[in-house]
C-alpha cells in the first residue's frame, strides 16, 4: 500500500503530494549546494533548510510520484550559472526552497525541510564530503562519502527502471531573479 505525503512551502501557498517511499535520503556537502544554500538563505523570509554543519538534506523522489496540487505558478528556477545542468526551484511566495532537478533526471531532490521534523525521513548517506574543508564535522550516524557511491547510483537506476525509463518534465513559471 502506497502512502501519500502532503507537503507545502512555508506559507502554504504551494502544495504538493508525494506518493510512495523515497529513492534515497541524502545530505549533500558539495560546493554548489552550499553556494546555492547561501544564496537562498539571504532571500527575505527564507526558511532554514540546512543542517547546523552546513549540508543540504534532500529526499530523492521519483518525478512520477510528485504532484503539485496548488500554487505551481509561484515556482521559479535558479541556476548557479547560465549553463548549469541543475536547477533549484523556489516558491517565491515565501522563498521556500522546494527541489533540485538534474537536467534529464527522472527524480527530484526535494528539500527535506519540506517535511515536518517529526516525519522527516532519516538520512541514508552524506555525499560529496570531499568538498568540505573539514569533513570530520559531520556526524557518524550515516556514511559520509567523499563522492557518490555505486549504491547511490544503483538506487537511482532501479527507480528509473521502475518508471519504464521515463523522464517526466516538471514545469515552473519562470526564473528567480536575484
pLDDT (tens digit per residue) in 66-84: 999 999 999 999 999 999 9
Share of the chain above pLDDT 90, in %: 97
| pTM metric for this prediction | 0.96
pLDDT (tens digit per residue) in 87-133: 999 999 999 999 999 999 999 999 999 999 999 999 999 999 999 99
Residue 27: what pLDDT?
98
Of 119, 137, 114, nearest to 58 by C-alpha is: 114
Amino acid at each position: 500500500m502506497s502512502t501519500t505525503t502532503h507537503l507545502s512551502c512555508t506559507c502554504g501557498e504551494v502544495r504538493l503530494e508525494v506518493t510512495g517511499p523515497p529513492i534515497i535520503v541524502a545530505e549533500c556537502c558539495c560546493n554548489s549546494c552550499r553556494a546555492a544554500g547561501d544564496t537562498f538563505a539571504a532571500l527575505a523570509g527564507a526558511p532554514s533548510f540546512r543542517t547546523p554543519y552546513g549540508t543540504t538534506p534532500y529526499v530523492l523522489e521519483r518525478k512520477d510520484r510528485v504532484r503539485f496540487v496548488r500554487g505551481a505558478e509561484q515556482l521559479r528556477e535558479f541556476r548557479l550559472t547560465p549553463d548549469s545542468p541543475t536547477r533549484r526551484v523556489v516558491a517565491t511566495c515565501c522563498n521556500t526552497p522546494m527541489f533540485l532537478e538534474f537536467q534529464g533526471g527522472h527524480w527530484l531532490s526535494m528539500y527535506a525541510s519540506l517535511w515536518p521534523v517529526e516525519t522527516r525521513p532519516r538520512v541514508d548517506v552524506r555525499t560529496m564530503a570531499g568538498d568540505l574543508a573539514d569533513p570530520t564535522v559531520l556526524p557518524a550516524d550515516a556514511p559520509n562519502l567523499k563522492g557518490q557511491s555505486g549504491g547511490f547510483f544503483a538506487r537511482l537506476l532501479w527507480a528509473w527502471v521502475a518508471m519504464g525509463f521515463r523522464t517526466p518534465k516538471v514545469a515552473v513559471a519562470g526564473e528567480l531573479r536575484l
